[in-house]
Amino acid sequence: MIHDKQGNTLSGATREAADYFDNAVASFNIYRGDPVAEIDKAIHAAPDFPMAHMLKAHLFALATEPDLTAAAAGILRQVKALRLSEREASHAHALDLLLAGQWTAAAQALDLHNSRYPLDILALQSGHIIDFYRASARDLRDRPARVLPQWSTDVPGYSIVLGMYAFGLEEAGDYARAEDIGRHAVALQPLDCWAHHAVAHVLEMQGRAQEGIAWMQQNEANWSGSDNFFQGHNWWHYAVYLIEMEDGAQALRLYDERIAANNSMVALDLVDASAMLWRLTLAGIDVQDRWASVADRWQAHADGRSYPFNDWHAIMANLGAGRGDEVDRILHLLRQAGAGGSGEPQEWTRRYGLPLSEGFVAFWRKDYATAVQRLRGARLIANAFGGSHAQRDIIDLTLIEAALRGGDRYFARALAYERCALKPGARMNRDFLIRGESESPLCAVG
């Protein structure tokens, strides 16, 4: 019987195919190289190798892109025609749920799967990514914790599990442990850009922008390669530090030279590009016509059904590009989805995606009172859906700007106090406080 590197049985595999499979999983683990190319080699070497097909289905299903979701469904139909072991059937069950839009049920199915197969790193990482999309801080933290005692430095991929745990600890607010474990994971595997990114999140959430820049520079050679799937996102973090240090010009240079340089069609990269241009605009930087290219590339993904976090960012890009008709089209799709669907993405749309999108549209069109009204409730998006705390911070940044520009200085001041309490050293937050109190009779800025 043939096994993967962690000791899980691989039915239908040859040794050659198993080696390609291990290469693909390792590539997925550190978001480096081309795992799909490796898994295609495995399938060519052993066409009836269920886990090879299953890995490809996971990769496509997790992309949150309509075309790849459809491709994942086709792969899953084919693999279910093969004879599956209990472990393989468990993977198929979780994928069925995910492709049906039952994200939480899929996450729970993978959790049960890993309780039985704790060294199945594909299931663990897939569940971790689903937890990220659901913004479930508790599961991001506890999913790795539930299997860690079964892992050790003797098991390939141990550092990857530590990196997942570090990110979960950060999202759960346990910053000291997150930083320690994240740095340890990077020391064990310097190419693990997810563990590196976990430490970057800690430094961002604590307002340690200068340390964050040093961290990015220290490890740049390990995360910035063109074959690194996460290199654009890590450059995004670098640019966020620069904006917080009020160096918008340098952040814009990073956008041009790093974040947007390859005109990526990947949804994650388009989210980063849209959010960065929005943040730069909030900071008073004229991004000129850079919106248009991003808006063009969103057309393949903004369907109002797959993942409303993406649709919301597509609206940002189209607002910036001056494409009101496209903004209205996406809003219409979101309203349709929110009114007629019963799946989890439709619930996310109703509760968060639509009010966020409407709030951002109102802000861009200078209807600041409506923007405040829509965003004030939708900002409580944490632990509901939509990426990380750092990504969702754009909501609060836009809300406080809407309050300031709309003349609601008392509310703006309250939000500035909140931000200063969380990040007392952040220059941007001090500036918000000054602007919020500059004409307030209640408090003088000392």
What pLDDT, in 10s, does the model give residues 66-102?
999 999 999 999 999 999 999 999 999 999 999 999 9
| 337 plus 433 within the same structural domain | no
Residues 362 and 427 reside in one and the same domain: no
Length of the chain: 446
Report the distance separating Cα 203 and Cα 324, nearest Å: 37
Decide if 288 is inside a domain: yes
Residues 343 and 445 in one domain: no
- One domain, residues 342 and 436: no
Asked whether residue 70 is domain-assigned, the answer is no
Whole-number pLDDT of residue 426? 81
- Tokens 């439709």 belong to residue: 346
Q: Please state, as a whole number, how many other Cβ atoms lie within 10 Å of the Cβ of residue 253.
A: 13
Q: Cα–Cα distances in Å, from 286 out to 239, 296, 360, 432?
A: 16, 20, 18, 20
Residue 343: DSSP 8-state? S
Residue among 33, 35, 34, 2 nearest 17 (CA): 2
Residue identified by tokens 């040093």 is: 214
Residue 10 domain flag: no
Tell me, yes or no, whether 119 lies in a domain: no
Q: How far apart are the first and last CA of the chain?
A: 73
Q: Are residues 437 and 368 in the same domain?
A: no
Full-model pTM? 0.94
In a domain, 272, yes or no: yes
Q: Whole-angstrom Cα distance, residue 153 to residue 86?
A: 27
Q: Tell me, yes or no, whether 335 lies in a domain.
A: yes
Query: 21, 13 in Cβ contact below 8 A?
Result: yes
> Given this model, what pLDDT does residue 260 score?
94
Does the residue 206 lie in any domain? no
User: Which residues, including other chains, have CB under 8 Å from residue 295's CB and lie 6 or more apart?
Assistant: 314, 317, 318, 320, 321, 323, 326
The tokens for 38 are: 């490796």
Alpha-carbon gap, residue 433 to 423, rounded angstroms: 12
User: What token pair was written down for 229?
Assistant: 């799937």
Q: What is the predicted pLDDT for the residue at 427?
A: 81
Instruction: Tell me the torsion sign for CA atoms 119, 120, 125, 126.
Output: negative
- Residues 331, 382: one domain? yes
**380 and 431 assigned to the same domain:** no
Give the pLDDT confidence of 224-240 residue by residue, as tens digits. Answer: 998 999 999 999 999 99
The verdict on 331 and 388 lying in the same domain is: yes
Is the Cβ–Cβ distance between 209 and 244 less than 8 Å?
Answer: yes
Assess if residue 37 is contained within a domain. Answer: no
Same domain (yes/no): 274, 357:
yes
Q: Are 238 and 214 spatial neighbours (Cβ–Cβ below 8 Å)?
A: no
**Tally of CA atoms within 13 A in the half-sphere of 379 that contains its CB:** 15
The verdict on 430 and 332 lying in the same domain is no
Contact 356, 375 (CB under 8 A): yes
Q: Which residues of the chain have pLDDT under 70?
A: 382-383, 438-446
Nearest CA to 134 out of 386, 338, 380 is that of 386
Q: 96 burial class (0-12, 13-18, 19+ CB within 10 angstroms)?
A: middle
Looking at the structure, do residues 367 and 395 belong to the same domain, yes or no? yes
Q: CA 412 to CA 429: how far, in whole Å?
A: 11
Range of the domain at 425: 407-446
Residue 365: give its domain's CATH number: 1.25.40
User: How many domains does the structure of the chain reveal?
Assistant: 2
pLDDT at 382: 58
324 with 436, same domain? no
Residue 5's contacts (CB-CB under 8 Å, 6 or more residues apart) are 22, 25, 26, 156, 157
